[in-house]
Amino acid sequence: MDDQILTIKNKKQEEFLRKPTEAVLDLNDRKITELIEGMKEILIKRQGAGLAANQIGENKRIFIAQFEGKIYAFINPQIVKVSKKNVVLEEGCLSVPGIVGLVSRSQKITVQAFNELGKPIKIKAKDILARICQHEIDHLSGVLFIDKATKLFRVSTNEKTAD
């Protein structure tokens, strides 16, 4: 699998990133399992915290999150509960290189989805895992963290451009 991440530096890629993704209809499709395995490889290689399928050009409502040494897969995720308490923290994104921003998110959430085996899951996430899930679910809805940030900062990247 190609490990290219779509970025806002390319207008066509940004257009794709800003479109809501389509729900996965066949949870038993081998292509979904292969997609998730490929996403895990990319996430590890890129040292990210999360990755949405549309970030690699797939119009599927799938994301993965890496937290405390474990990678979680979420198919057709929905946030079903949020805490009243919000926390503002700095976020970055593989699709928005060179920029970080302050984003307010719910401290605790409950996410319903299906895992890579097609089994229904319900995860109560708090703090960093809750933030990762909210960030990735936003991706699946066509929303980037820069749309929600109250303040943005430029950071230097060691990224090589392939122009």
Q: List residues with catalytic annotation.
A: 136
Q: Say if strands 99-106 and 151-154 run parallel, antiparallel, or are unpaired.
A: antiparallel
Measured CA to CA, the distance from residue 5 to residue 11 in angstroms comes to 14
Q: Find the DSSP H helices in the chain.
A: 11-17, 30-46, 127-140, 145-148
Please tell me what DSSP assigns to residue 23: P
How many angstroms separate the Cα of 35 from the Cα of each of 5, 28, 67, 131, 148? Answer: 14, 12, 20, 23, 28
Please tell me what DSSP assigns to residue 139: H
3-state secondary structure of 7: coil
